[in-house]
Structure 1
Amino acid sequence: MSYNAAQIIARGPRALAEAAAEALDADPMLDGATYSILEEDEDKGIWRIDAFPTSQEEEDGIRDSLVASGGLTVVVEPLADADWLAMALSGLPPVREGRFFVYGLHDKGRAPASAVKLRIEAGAAFGTGHHGTTAGCLKAYDDLLKSRRFDRVLDVGCGTGVLAIAAARTGSKVAVGTDIDGPSVRIANENARENAAAARFVHASGLNHRLVRQDGPYDLVFANILAPPLVALSHDIKLALKPGGVAILSGLLRTQERRVKAAYLSKGFRVMRSLHRDAWATLVLQRA
């Protein structure tokens, strides 16, 4: 039976919305569910979660989880047939983070001459630079580049490949990305070619694939994924880094920051800085 596409919208105070989002992340039955969280009305303190289930079972699970969180107004709205991805991308403004300018084809003529221009056509992959986690990673990386360079860079959960491509375009001799999602790897490799970037992307689960290990240890590891896999991969990320190497971690809510920090501190990392965008956090850590 085909699924009639729907959008689930939940609104409420920030604390309740963040707790509800954390509950979605923690539910193993909703692993991979697509949602966003953002501030809708600053004056009224209203935050909003938008979820886009891909099956009736996932719709029921997300709705029940949001309702169970208590205090949020939850509605389910049908989505009419349309090329939502193309419509959304055509309306996305370009993103400027430090030296980086991330844009789509519709904004090709707006790129400033002084910027490192990254044309990213997302397709079905995550990472156009607009989300607070991707923007946070680019900001953290741009700041690090002011005082040092990273010859060997690994991007775990690469999505569109924007972070590895940014590294390749700013002088990294090796820029490798890995993702468990095959279409994302294909899109990332297409984006690398579009940007004339010497970055390559591998379809792999974890960091033990031979095409990932062969270029390690790395000077810098990006991991813009989710809090649970960030915790689970803390040991592998440590082993993938050179001593003194840097990890830029994101994909976690501010409410999950302490948990992720604790996992890496226990592996001998030190916290260099934390960046916050809306409800999201980006951590910059250094291996001892």
Structure 2
Amino acid sequence: MHAWEAIQKSLDYIEIHTTEEISIETLADIAGLSPYYFQRLFKRLVKRSVFEYVKLRRLAQSVESLKDHKRIADVAAEYGFSSHANFTRAFKEAYNIKPDEYRVKSIPLNQMNKPDLQLNYILIDENVPLIADGIVMEITRKQLIHPETYYGLTTKVLISNQIPVGEATGIDTPFILWERFHQMKPEIKGLIPNGIELGASMMGDMENGTFTYFAGASVDGEVPAANGMTVWELPEAEYIICSIEAETFAELATIALNKAMTYLISTWLPSRRLTIRPFSAEKYYPAASDGFSMEIWVIPVPLPD
């Protein structure tokens, strides 16, 4: 058994026992390691301590219970927090919002998702699909001959609050921007009916701790300038494209996107001595009868020798 497989077993156990007491000894036994080496290996592969990861997965699952309008004290007890106050403190530290405020505002949150560690070690060839946790990924190349134009909204996003960019939990600012765009979309003239929607992350402001995010849709010809709206162009170039399929849109735009982006940027491209230009694009296609699909588009750049 590979080391990552042993840790994956412990992750699988944690996922279905978040409402129960979880001890280091139990997890180490599942992984077939001593408690000391288990904790060292877990932190190396998951990038979190065992207790921090368990806490974040409990908080992520508690969000669903909060949506069901359970008493906050009951949710705290269900997920192993010693009191309403301790749960509120942990929730605020993770998401920068208190659970009672979240329940009222229902703001989208960046969650610590359960990792699929095989994605750190499996290298797929181009045009060969990979199935991981029910998500289908495939990496291809494409030459974009003519630029594509999109019309939408932009906002600044704190890197520290984003997964996978900053590898941190917090309020999901890009998702909020998408909600604003979808509210405005029926009134926007010039959009292609049932056309592609596109999100783009532009990393030019990373020194200031932020990046710029665009959310919009494809347009047919020129669009009239409007206050607060942005025209964004996907430039002509050769692209590496990571196609993703998932059963639901919620899974596609959160867990699947995060896993695919991490795999592409942290594993697949470095294995081919490639990096990317400082932007990435997400193309969302209209729903099909058999599920939902999207693509991550990046322009590859060879790493220096």
TM-score class, shorter-chain normalisation, is under 0.3
Q: Which has the higher strand share?
A: 1
> What TM-score, normalized to structure 2?
0.25
Higher relative contact order (CA 8 A, sep 6+): 2
- Normalised by the size of structure 1, how large is the TM-score? 0.26
Larger Rg: 2
